[in-house]
């Protein structure tokens, strides 16, 4: 048994500044602390994340988060054996803030530095939370990303497909905006959908009739816009029930598409240990139920990590750092921040997807 390692993780790729301390070895770890400072309030007035404001806030908050994590964990800085940091993909200013902070800490402590791909952090979370063994299928559904990954090992990812335009969370947010609802849109649309009729508006199920695991959500959002405008033209405005029915119909279309494509991604793979989800959209109950049913039909366990570990956090970065450290990866002061960094370098780049700076 290898001696357990105490690892500090830093996350600052979008609008959450996170620090976490994990202790573990051989693919297992305990979370000693996992703190996050959200910047939602700072960006609220702008209708989206402002990169310059985000970078500045990360630079201000990183030290504070590290101090808080150490205190919560009851660990002294000198006890940290390695420093893991998100080195991309994400907003360049934010990623740079984290990478520079991590370099300073690693150098000051004389400890190794490990640069982590943010998406690997999400993709490896089911190993941390549920001890899921490789290989498994991961559906990453967030505000900036949507992809199916076959995870064969800590550094072996194979992308089976992904969105060719918007991410589902982005679509939820845009639909909320179209209907005059608050942001972030996902939880509000889900709440409205509960009293709505999912069959009232027949919305498209983009790419569901095409082979493969690619997805598209931009046309669906436009279809909601048309349905909304049709109602406004016909009756002069939108009632509460109209909004609820539009939300329910939209959510049903998203769930149909994600469930259908998940079934396809699982089909023909006989060696998987489970089907896992991560990302903020995985909080959606209708979607979770559908995905759980898809996993059950495939005879696989369904793993949905607790929400705090599904959304952006530093525990997942520390854990991915631990796994890659154990695989022998070490970085030094030449580690660079990569705004774009596909997990599966062999997969064809997706046109229009993984927008620069989109939250992953
Ligand atoms: O993973 P996340 O916190 O941030 C990243 O994008 O990385 O995901 C945020 C996204 C937002 O677009 C939000 O509207 C969506 O997740 N979301 C939901 C729900 N809760 C959050 N979408 C649908 N249903 C929800 N209950
Ligand atoms: Zn993320």
User: Averaged over 317-338, what is the pLDDT?
Assistant: 96
- Kindly provide the b/e burial profile for residues 197-215, where b requires at least 16 CB atoms within 10 angstroms of the residue's own CB: ebebbebebbbbeeeebbb
| Confidence (pLDDT) at 234 | 97
Cα distance between residue 317 and residue 332, in whole Å: 17
Query: Residue 264 Cα, ligand 2 centroid: separation in angstroms?
Result: 24
Tokens standing for residue 321:
């750092």
Rounded to 5°, the CA angle 33-38-43 comes to: 170
* Max CA pair span of the chain: 71
Query: Residue 47 Cα, ligand 1 centroid: separation in angstroms?
Result: 15
| Confidence (pLDDT) at 162 | 96
| pLDDT at residue 12 greater than cutoff 60 | yes
Cβ atoms of residues 86 and 116 within 8 Å: yes
User: What global pTM score does this model have?
Assistant: 0.91
| pLDDT at residue 295 greater than cutoff 60 | yes
| Confidence (pLDDT) at 352 | 44
Query: Residue 311 Cα, ligand 2 centroid: separation in angstroms?
Result: 6
Q: Which residue has the higher pLDDT, 12 or 350?
A: 12
**Which residue shows structure tokens 């800590």?**
154
The verdict on the CB of residue 144 being under 6 Å from ligand 1 is yes
Nearest residue (CA) to ligand 1, atom 8:
280
User: Averaged over 128-146, what is the pLDDT?
Assistant: 95
Which range (12-16, 251-255, 350-354) has the least confidence? 350-354
User: Averaged over 184-210, what is the pLDDT?
Assistant: 95
At residue 353 the predicted structure's pLDDT band, cuts being 50, 70 and 90, is very low
Cα distance between residue 123 and residue 152, in whole Å: 11
Question: Residue 170 to residues 3, 241, 295: CA-CA distances in angstroms?
Answer: 43, 23, 25
Ligand nearest to the CA of 187: 1
At residue 315 the predicted structure's pLDDT band, cuts being 50, 70 and 90, is very high
Cis peptide before 211 (omega within 30 of 0): no
User: Averaged over 99-103, what is the pLDDT?
Assistant: 98
Nearest residue (CA) to ligand 1, atom 6:
143
| Confidence (pLDDT) at 183 | 80
Instruction: Out of 141, 172, 289, 354, give the residue to mutate to test ligand 1, the one with the largest number of ligand atoms within 8 Å of its CB.
Output: 172
At residue 184 the predicted structure's pLDDT band, cuts being 50, 70 and 90, is confident
At residue 350 the predicted structure's pLDDT band, cuts being 50, 70 and 90, is low
| Confidence (pLDDT) at 48 | 74
Which range (45-49, 120-124, 172-176) has the least confidence? 45-49
| pLDDT at residue 123 greater than cutoff 50 | yes
At residue 354 the predicted structure's pLDDT band, cuts being 50, 70 and 90, is very low
User: Averaged over 329-356, what is the pLDDT?
Assistant: 78
SS3 sequence, the chain? CCCCEEEEEEECCCCEEEEEEEEEECCEEEEEEEEEEECHHHHHHHCCCCHHHHHHHHHHHHHHHHHHHHHHHCCCHHHCCEEEEEEECCCHHHHHHHHHHHHHHHHHHCCCEEEEEHHHHHHHHHHHHHCCCCCEEEEEECCCCEEEEEEEECCEEEEEEEECCCCHHHHHHHHHHHCCCCCCHHHHHHHHHCCCCCCCCCCCCCCCCCCCCCECCHHHHHHHHHHHHHHHHHHCCCCHHHHHHHHHHHHHHHHHHHHHHHHHHHCCCCCCCCEEEECHHHHCHHHHHHHHHHHHHCCCCEECCCHHHHCCCCHHHHHHHHHHHHCCCCECCCCCCCCCCCCCCCCCCCCCCCCCCCCC
Instruction: Out of 44, 281, 304, give the residue to mutate to test ligand 1, the one with the largest number of ligand atoms within 8 Å of its CB.
Output: 281
At residue 357 the predicted structure's pLDDT band, cuts being 50, 70 and 90, is very low
Query: Residue 237 Cα, ligand 1 centroid: separation in angstroms?
Result: 28
Would you tell me the crossing angle of helices 218-235 and 168-178 to the nearest 10 degrees? 10
The verdict on the CB of residue 305 being under 6 Å from ligand 1 is no
Nearest residue (CA) to ligand 1, atom 10:
143
The verdict on the CB of residue 312 being under 6 Å from ligand 1 is yes
User: Which domains are present in the chain?
Assistant: 5-125+308-326 (3.30.420.40), 135-300 (3.30.420.40)
Closest approach atom of ligand 1 to CA 279: 1
Ligand nearest to the CA of 118: 2
| pLDDT at residue 142 greater than cutoff 80 | yes
| Confidence (pLDDT) at 38 | 87
At residue 228 the predicted structure's pLDDT band, cuts being 50, 70 and 90, is very high
| Confidence (pLDDT) at 360 | 60
């Amino acid at each position: 048994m290898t001696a357990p390692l105490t690892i500090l993780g830093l996350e600052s790729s979008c609008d959450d500044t996170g620090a976490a301390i994990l202790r573990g070895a051989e693919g297992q770890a305990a979370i000693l602390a996992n703190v996050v400072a959200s910047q939602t309030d700072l960006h609220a007035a702008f209708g989206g994340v402002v990169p310059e404001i985000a970078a500045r806030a990360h630079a201000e908050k990183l030290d504070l988060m590290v101090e808080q994590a150490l205190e919560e964990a009851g660990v002294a800085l000198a006890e940290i054996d390695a420093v893991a940091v998100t080195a991309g993909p994400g907003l360049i200013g934010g990623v740079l803030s984290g990478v520079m902070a991590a370099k300073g800490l690693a150098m000051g402590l004389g400890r190794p530095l490990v640069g982590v791909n943010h998406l690997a952090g999400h993709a490896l979370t089911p190993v941390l939370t549920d001890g899921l063994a490789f290989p498994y299928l991961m559906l990453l559904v967030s505000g900036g990303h949507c992809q199916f990954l076959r995870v064969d090992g800590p550094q072996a990812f194979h992308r089976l497909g992904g969105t060719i335009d918007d991410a589902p969370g982005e679509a939820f947010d845009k639909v909320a905006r179209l209907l005059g609802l608050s942001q972030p849109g996902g939880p509000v649309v889900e709440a409205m959908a509960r009293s709505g009729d999912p069959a009232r508006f027949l919305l498209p199920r983009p790419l569901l009739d095409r082979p493969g695991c690619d997805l598209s959500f931009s046309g669906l959002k436009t279809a909601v816009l048309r349905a909304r405008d049709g109602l406004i033209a016909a009756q002069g405005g939108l009632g509460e029930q109209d909004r609820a029915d539009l939300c329910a119909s939209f959510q049903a279309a998203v769930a149909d598409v994600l469930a259908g494509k998940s079934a396809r991604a699982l089909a023909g793979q006989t060696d998987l240990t489970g089907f896992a989800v991560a990302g903020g959209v995985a909080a959606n109950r209708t979607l979770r139920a559908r995905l759980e049913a898809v996993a059950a039909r495939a005879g696989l366990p369904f793993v949905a990590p607790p929400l705090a570990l599904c959304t952006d956090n530093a525990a997942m970065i520390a854990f991915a750092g631990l796994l890659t450290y154990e695989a022998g990866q070490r970085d030094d002061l030449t580690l660079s921040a990569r705004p774009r960094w596909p997990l599966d370098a062999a997969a064809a780049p997706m046109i229009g997807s993984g927008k620069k700076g989109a939250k992953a």
